[in-house]
Structure 1
């Protein structure tokens, strides 16, 4: 009962904070971390401790899945070179750099210093997506930041497993074996994700009930994650691949009413989970600090130094990577580097990894450095979420890369004009029959001509009208996909316009 009350209280707190964040135009994740810290410091309140299993198994899969669905397969193919450099090389360089600094400024042993480096090596997809959701960045840059955070898990997970094995005394450093383990984790996870996505596509293509589609959408990330973990490959990679595949094919296997219902349910789930999990980061820190042994009072300065090192290493690696890669070469190198470096924050996944460090070694010894690693990880994550979160929007605006809202509105308006012109061209070519007579065709023509002139709408409801209206929405969807395929619009604009078409079709059902 106490645990249920804590969850309800967290949901209420997170909802209130997220509401204020929206009104104040500040990033909700950063404000939630601060709110969690403030609540945890209130005297007399019970200590909140979360097991890594709950974070990894319950919270992460749907959040990763929702982030992956926003990434198009075409963008991934275009960005694979810089993406590989960031998801592989940068993770390894960060792990080594953080481990070396930890050895110099903390009392951590060599194995536990490398555990800390592996834990903090990769950016967090949940935090990156949540912080970047409202930023006016070009679609290609935003996609690169999100894709990097989604695909660097396998690298950091392999490094983490090797380091934990050394710390627990259960293995020796086998780097050749680690390379093979990386391939197994990454390729195996991708394979599991593709198989799960294929099964879901086959089932959803034959299902007509929107409730069944909603249940399948909620179950898919958990199925991919748990199946991959059961066979010993990367569950995170499996969820990401399943999300990318289903995000690229979802419009082909569902109708408008189903997409609207599934989208509404998933928006609620993502909002609740994101809100609670960022508040938990702040709530955890004071409790973890109380577990530190005597003589660990320098942890705030140590955490600050590690956060600065993470940003410095990222800058050194990102600068040559993005300036030489074809997808990002056209952007000014320094502003682009500044934005990508500042967007690479840490979040939920490092905390889950740190909590998964075993309590004892292979011979039964207590791993004494575990509390310090937990505190340093949580402090670094909280500090980066707060500092980078509150300052990311000004960094983007001052970089010169921010897309002008007026330009976005004009581009969206131009896309709507193209869709309405497509509807008028279809009406000009449609066959006249008993159901779609001249009056019906003329009524629809007047409607779309009025939309072109003054963005107005009319209401008509007869059988011929509805049939033609559905056919018009069909050709508009095809035109929308053509615009996206040829680069006329980005993913975000395509989703907004697709949502408008879905709403129009759902209105016909009603």
Structure 2
């Protein structure tokens, strides 16, 4: 099997594993690592060599961008002191400890041992964000914090980005890969049950109730805006009746918002887009005041964006 064919097969396999992980509510990084270990043991799989510059310029930037996009800045601001201490003090201490141990028990040179320490010291945000449960745990609980230190693709990418001629490069990659497999299989599969057992995770019922409450607030804000438009006779009566009926249904029945809409004239689409903007502002207000979490805000904002896009297409 040629390298190109092997890469395509691995991409298809990774897609299947990721979809299966979501379907069975398993941590995708842990399942991908387990599948990768199995595939790597197959004799028919060719050796694939990735140059360091490819890793640094192609692999790392999108991973870091995606991890940053999943970060809630409001929740980070709330615990910034603890995060700063962990991100600086704990990482430096961990790098020094790992480097000292590696220098003592492996044939690595001192500098390369501390390079290994720097690679393994920080927790991989991509791995942790996708191995934890879908709800919002309080990461201040010591047991959870200590167990959430999974390493993933970022340490491996950092190890692979070392110069090919660097002494001890292969050993650094081997140790890094071993740590990644160990943390993602052991800690990855047990992190979500630990969070739930510790009683610090928001249940799915609470998240659903939060989402419905937020939608009621958004519908009321849109209804108030529709009242303002009716007062100045800016909306055709038939359009006003249709939109008012839909908003009232959301408030009274706590119905889940939908991206589907009736195909009416351009006036209805224009008014509905005005109301979507009002709902978006109300959603931002609810999030800013702490009444809803980041996950709820993103799900409802996505629904608004999809409806707005469908109205623009019409």
Give the alignment's TM-score, normalised by structure 2: 0.89
Q: Does 1:339 align with 2:138?
A: no
Could you tell me whether the CA contact under 8 Å between 1:91 and 1:121 is conserved in 2? Answer: yes
Which of 271, 274, 282 pairs up with 1:471?
Answer: 274
Of the structure 1 ranges 394-403 and 51-60, higher mean CA displacement relative to structure 2 is found in 51-60
Partner residue of 1:103?
103
Deviations 1:17-60 (A, max 9, x none): 22332333221211211211111211243122322322221122
- Maintained 8 Å contact 2:59/2:157: no
Question: Could you tell me which of 484, 498, 503 is aligned with 2:287?
Answer: 484
Give the Cα–Cα distance (whole angstroms) in 1 for the partners of residues 209 and 150 of structure 2: 32
1 CA distance for matches of 2:135 and 2:230? 44
Counterpart of 1:42 in structure 2 is 42
3-state SS of 1:120 partner: helix
1:442 paired to 2:247:
no
TM-score using structure 1 length: 0.57
1:263-278 mapped onto 2 (5 Å cutoff): none
Residue 7 to residue 429, structure 1, CA distance change in 2 (3 Å): same
The answer to whether the 8 A contact 1:29-1:131 is kept is yes
Cα 1:376–1:433 change in 2 (3 A) is same
The higher-RCO structure (CA 8 Å, 6+ apart) is: 1
Equivalence map 1:117-132=2 (5 Å): 117-132=117-132
Deviations 1:72-113 (A, max 9, x none): 443443332112111111111001111222234333333332
In the TM superposition, what is the alpha-carbon distance from 1:129 to its structure 2 partner? 2.4
Q: How many residue pairs align between the two structures?
A: 309
What is the Cα-based RMSD across aligned positions, in Å? 2.3
Contact 2:52/2:163, CA 8 A, preserved across alignment: no
The residue that corresponds to 2:67 in the other structure is 67
Alpha-carbon distance in 1 for matches of 2:84, 2:184: 25
Alpha-carbon distance in 2 for matches of 1:434, 1:487: 36
The answer to whether residue 313 in structure 2 is matched with residue 506 in structure 1 is no
Q: Deviations over 1:415-474 (max 9, x none)?
A: 111111112222222245676233332332122112223328762512332222122111
Distance 1:358 1:463, change over 3 A: closer
Change in Cα spacing, 1:488 to 1:400, as seen in structure 2 (3 Å) is same
Counterpart residue number, 1:401: 200
Residue deviations 1:149-208, cap 9 Å, x none?
xxxxxxxxxxxxxxxxxxxxxxxxxxxxxxxxxxxxxxxxxxxxxxxxxxxxxxxxxxxx
Moved more, 346-355 or 90-99: 346-355
- Structure 1 gap ranges (5+): 142-321, 323-335, 362-366
2:3 maps to: 3
Aligned in 2, Cα 1:406/1:75: closer, same or farther, shift over 3 Å? closer
Paired residue for 1:496? 299
CA contact (8 A) 2:55 2:160 kept: no
Separation in 1 of the partners of 2:21 and 2:72?
29
Paired with 2:216 and 2:162, the residues of 1 have a C-alpha distance of: 56
Deviation at 1:65, TM superposition (A): 1.0
Compare 343-352 and 91-100 and name the one that shifted more. Answer: 343-352
User: Hey, what does 2:116 align to over in structure 1?
Assistant: 116
Deviation at 1:494, TM superposition (A): 0.8
The equivalent residue for 2:14 is 14
Q: Which residue of 2 aligns with 1:136?
A: 135
Give distance in 2, aligned partners of 1:23 and 1:75: 28
1:353 equivalent in structure 2: 158
State the SS of the aligned residue for 2:121: coil
1:77–1:45 CA distance, 2 compared to 1 (3 A)? closer
Does the C-alpha gap of structure 1 residues 25 and 375 become closer, same or farther in structure 2, counting only changes over 3 Å? same
1:44/1:428 Cα in 2 relative to 1: closer, same or farther (>3 Å)? Answer: closer
Structure 1 residues 394 and 76: CA distance shift in structure 2, 3 A = closer
Structure 1 357/339 Cα, relative in aligned 2: closer, same or farther at 3 Å? same
- Contact persistence 1:423–1:475 (CA under 8 A): yes
Q: 1:437–1:6: structure 2 CA closer, same or farther, 3 Å change rule?
A: same
Structure 2 stretches of 5 or more lacking a match?
A: none
Q: Distance in 2 between matches of 1:433 and 1:486?
A: 31
CA separation of 1:440 and 1:112: change in aligned 2, threshold 3 A: closer
Q: CA 1:374/1:67 → structure 2, altered by over 3 Å: closer, same or farther?
A: closer
**Aligned equivalents of 2:115, 2:152: Cα separation in 1:** 17
